[in-house]
């Protein structure tokens, strides 16, 4: 297919007409398709239905004799501590297993830092003046929302193919002690699918930082979510921090939300002994203990990291064809036209699609007008503003395959329509419309 820019006026007008006919054909179908949030599909959830049989009515005792029905067990039951330790490559003593949401645990860790400070710091962050947080973008909107909500200034850092742009990161942290942390989704990142390179992990662990109480929020949400033949390899950030003499620098998080039941998974925090001791001091005031029956349910269902990985192979079998479909439709419709690029990740939950600068909002609006809902333009950027208005996040896991195919065809038609009209001088830059 030829580059649109090489078509003359007549060619572009003819193409516009074809696209309008297709667009109106889609409108007539009265579509109601949702490609917005990265949720597991019903079939993925069904993979964990057997878990609901556990722990059963007679055996609710953990390996260490804990009666999981009762209060207590602040750091979690042994088997879940071991499971998360294996997942995050630390020791079980470094793990606190919590409730169902890692996002809650990240939020709470930052609230604690704001109110009480962190080990190695100079007291509560809220007493240290206006503060900043680094946000590799495109990234996870809910991360950015937490730090915006807590009053941090959000500093956008470009994402590269190997992780955050480390030149920008080091320039931001090296002399400014008000920069207190960075959000990281290090494996199959949300939404680009990038896994941080060894160099990036080492640089994050070893870089010179002006703030003595800087924290890397290492959200390894997609640690086991691969669907290629070969999983990406991620270097061990904690080992790298220890090696660099900065073992308190990183707080690691994970959950089973997208492995078992998204609303009823189990989440965990892992960190240095000093950070864990500090967290427990506060957690002991916050709660008498987490939901250990749900932990036991998970421990029995997965058995251990081997069982969890086998389970994730079943997820991959459901997810991979959907990602392939997204790629195939985009390739079929857009290859060679020079109007869009998209990621083809090895794992995770998203495809990141870039269109011409100034066009993403228009594409998303055109698709919404005929019943295909996409994540709001700009959502993966700090303050919900994509500086180039070019990024579109595609979340293919939840819809059925026929819905994905149709949605992607609609999106591809909208991308082409916006591009053709731009070349014909018929559209205005949507950023100007703000």
**From the list 15, 146, 267, 268, which residue makes contact with ligand PLP (rule: CB under 6 A)?**
267
Rounded to a whole number of angstroms, the minimum distance from the CB of residue 240 to ligand PLP is 20
Residues 80/294, Cβ–Cβ less than 8 Å: no
> Using the rule CB under 6 A, is 255 a contact of ligand PLP?
yes
Closer residue to ligand PLP (CB): 256 or 275: 256
Rounded to a whole number of angstroms, the minimum distance from the CB of residue 148 to ligand PLP is 16
Q: How far is CA 434 from the centre of its chain?
A: 27
> Using the rule CB under 6 A, is 257 a contact of ligand PLP?
yes
Rounded to a whole number of angstroms, the minimum distance from the CB of residue 30 to ligand PLP is 30
Rounded to a whole number of angstroms, the minimum distance from the CB of residue 349 to ligand PLP is 6
Closer residue to ligand PLP (CB): 102 or 294: 102
Rounded to a whole number of angstroms, the minimum distance from the CB of residue 266 to ligand PLP is 9
Q: Dig out the tokens for 80 from the structure.
A: 């879940």
> Using the rule CB under 6 A, is 392 a contact of ligand PLP?
no
Closer residue to ligand PLP (CB): 202 or 257: 257
> Using the rule CB under 6 A, is 213 a contact of ligand PLP?
no
- Residue 397 CA to residue 399 CA, distance in Å, equals 6
Site for ligand PLP in 149-188 (CB under 6 A): 185
Rounded to a whole number of angstroms, the minimum distance from the CB of residue 157 to ligand PLP is 16
Site for ligand PLP in 301-360 (CB under 6 A): none
> Using the rule CB under 6 A, is 219 a contact of ligand PLP?
yes
How many chain residues touch ligand PLP (CB under 6 A)? 12
> Using the rule CB under 6 A, is 294 a contact of ligand PLP?
no
Closer residue to ligand PLP (CB): 164 or 358: 164
At how many degrees (to 10) do helices 273-286 and 102-116 cross? 90
> Using the rule CB under 6 A, is 137 a contact of ligand PLP?
no
Closer residue to ligand PLP (CB): 66 or 190: 190
Q: Dig out the tokens for 362 from the structure.
A: 């228009």
Q: Dig out the tokens for 88 from the structure.
A: 């995050």
Q: Which residue has the tokens 């269109």?
A: 355
Rounded to a whole number of angstroms, the minimum distance from the CB of residue 50 to ligand PLP is 21
> Using the rule CB under 6 A, is 191 a contact of ligand PLP?
no
> Using the rule CB under 6 A, is 221 a contact of ligand PLP?
yes
Site for ligand PLP in 72-111 (CB under 6 A): 101-103
- Residue 382 CA to residue 138 CA, distance in Å, equals 8
Rounded to a whole number of angstroms, the minimum distance from the CB of residue 422 to ligand PLP is 32
Phi, psi of 157, rounded to the nearest 5 degrees: -120, 135
Closer residue to ligand PLP (CB): 94 or 397: 397
Rounded to a whole number of angstroms, the minimum distance from the CB of residue 190 to ligand PLP is 4
> Using the rule CB under 6 A, is 140 a contact of ligand PLP?
yes
Footprint of ligand PLP (CB under 6 A):
38, 101-103, 140, 185, 190, 219, 221, 255, 257, 267
């Amino acid at each position: 297919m030829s580059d649109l820019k090489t078509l003359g006026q007549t060619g572009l007008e003819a193409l516009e007409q074809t696209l309008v006919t297709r667009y109106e054909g889609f409108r007539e179908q009265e579509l109601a398709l949702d490609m917005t949030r990265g949720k597991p599909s019903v079939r993925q959830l069904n993979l964990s239905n057997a878990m609901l049989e556990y722990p059963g009515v007679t055996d609710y005792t953990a390996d260490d004799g804990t009666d999981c029905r009762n209060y207590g067990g602040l750091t979690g039951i042994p088997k879940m501590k071991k499971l998360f330790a294996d997942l995050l490559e630390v020791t079980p003593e470094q793990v606190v297993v919590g409730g169902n949401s890692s996002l809650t645990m990240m939020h709470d860790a930052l609230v604690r830092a704001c109110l009480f400070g962190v080990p190695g710091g100079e007291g509560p962050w809220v007493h240290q003046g206006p503060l900043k947080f680094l946000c590799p973008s495109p990234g996870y909107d809910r991360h950015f929302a937490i730090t915006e909500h807590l009053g941090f200034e959000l500093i956008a850092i470009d994402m590269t193919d190997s992780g955050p742009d480390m030149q920008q990161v080091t320039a931001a942290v090296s002399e400014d002690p008000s920069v207190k942390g960075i959000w990281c989704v290090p494996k199959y990142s949300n939404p680009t699918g990038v896994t941080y390179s060894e160099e990036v992990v080492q640089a994050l662990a070893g870089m010179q930082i002006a703030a003595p109480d800087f924290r890397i929020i290492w959200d390894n949400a997609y640690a086991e979510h691969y669907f290629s033949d070969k999983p990406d390899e991620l270097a061990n950030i904690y080992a790298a921090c220890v090696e660099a003499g900065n073992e308190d620098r990183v707080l690691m998080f994970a959950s089973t939300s997208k492995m078992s039941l998204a609303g009823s998974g189990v989440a965990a925090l892992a960190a240095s002994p000093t950070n864990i001791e500090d967290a427990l001091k506060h957690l002991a005031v916050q709660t008498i203990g987490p939901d250990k029956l749900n932990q036991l349910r998970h421990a029995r269902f997965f058995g251990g990291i081997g069982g969890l990985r086998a389970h994730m192979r079943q997820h991959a079998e459901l997810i991979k064809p959907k990602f392939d479909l997204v790629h195939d439709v985009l390739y079929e419709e857009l290859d060679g036209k020079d109007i869009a690029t998209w990621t083809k990740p090895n794992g995770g939950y998203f495809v990141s699609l870039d269109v011409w600068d100034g066009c993403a909002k228009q594409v998303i609006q055109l698709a919404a007008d005929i019943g295909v809902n996409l994540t709001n333009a700009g959502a993966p950027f700090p303050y919900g503003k994509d500086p180039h208005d070019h990024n579109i996040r595609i979340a293919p896991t939840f819809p059925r395959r026929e819905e994905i195919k149709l949605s992607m065809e609609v999106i591809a038609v909208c991308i082409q329509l916006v591009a053709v009209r731009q070349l014909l001088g018929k559209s205005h830059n949507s950023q100007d419309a703000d």
